[in-house]
Structure 1
Amino acid sequence: MAARSVTTAARALCAAVVLALALISGCSTAAGTESPVPVATAPADVAVVDEGTTGVSEAAAVSSPPVRIDVPAISVSSGLMGLGLQQDGTMEVPPGAFPAGWYTGSPIPGALGPSVIAGHVDWDGAPGVFSRLGDLAADDDVIVTLQDGTISRFRVTQVEQYPKAEFPTTTVYGDIDHPGLRLITCGGRFDSGAASYDDNIVVYADLIS
Structure 2
Amino acid sequence: MGQQTSGTEERPAGDSGRSALRWAMSLAAVGVFVMYQSVETTPAAPRSADNSPAAVASATPTPAALPTRTAPATHTMARSKPVKLRIPQLFVEAPFTELGLTPTGGLAAPPADDRNLVGWYKDGPTPGERGPAVVAGHVDTTKGPAVFLMLYVLRPGNPVEITRADGSVAVFTVDSVQTFAKNAFPDKLVYGDTPDAQLRLITCAGEYNRATHDYSDNVVVFAHLSATRQA
Structure with a larger share of its residues in helix: 1
Cα deviation 1:45-69 (Å, max 9, x = unaligned): xxxxxxx941x23xxx1xx310110
TM-score, normalising length from structure 2? 0.66
The one-letter amino acid of 2:135's match is I
Q: 1:85 to 1:167 in 2, by over 3 A?
A: same
Quick one: percent identity of the two aligned structures? 38
The one-letter amino acid of 2:110's match is P
**In the alignment, does 2:193 pair up with 1:154?**
no
Maintained 8 Å contact 1:16/1:170: no
In 1, distance between residues paired with 2:188 and 2:137?
20
Match of 1:23 in 2: none
**Residues 41-190 of structure 1: matches in 2 within 5 Å?**
53-54=75-76, 56-57=77-78, 61=79, 64-96=80-112, 97-124=115-142, 126-190=144-208
Higher mean C-alpha displacement, 150-159 vs 9-18:
9-18
Q: Which has the larger radius of gyration?
A: 2
Could you list the structure 1 runs, at least 4 aligned residues long, displaced by more than 3 angstroms after superposition: 8-13, 15-18
Deviation at 1:180, TM superposition (A): 0.1
Deviation at 1:137, TM superposition (A): 0.4
The one-letter amino acid of 1:207's match is L
Maintained 8 Å contact 2:48/2:125: no
**In the alignment, does 2:51 pair up with 1:12?**
yes
Q: 1:173 to 1:16 in 2, by over 3 A?
A: farther
Match of 2:30 in 1: none
The one-letter amino acid of 1:150's match is S
SS in 1 for 2:53: helix
Q: 1:17 to 1:207 in 2, by over 3 A?
A: farther
SS in 2 for 1:117: strand
Deviation at 1:122, TM superposition (A): 0.8
Deviation at 1:124, TM superposition (A): 1.2
TM-score, normalising length from structure 1? 0.73
Deviation at 1:89, TM superposition (A): 2.8
Higher mean C-alpha displacement, 136-145 vs 88-97:
88-97
In 2, distance between residues paired with 1:13 and 1:174?
10
In 2, distance between residues paired with 1:186 and 1:13?
25
Structure 1's unaligned 5+ residue stretches are: 1-7, 21-51
1:201 equivalent among 206, 213, 219: 219
In 1, distance between residues paired with 2:55 and 2:163?
24
Maintained 8 Å contact 1:13/1:170: no
Deviation at 1:85, TM superposition (A): 2.1
Match of 1:49 in 2: none
Structure 2's unaligned 5+ residue stretches are: 1-46, 59-73
CA RMSD, 1 decimal = 2.1
Instruction: Name which structure has the greater RCO, CA cutoff 8 Å, separation 6+.
Output: 2
Deviation at 1:87, TM superposition (A): 3.6
Maintained 8 Å contact 1:187/1:201: yes
SS in 1 for 2:120: strand
Q: 1:185 to 1:9 in 2, by over 3 A?
A: closer
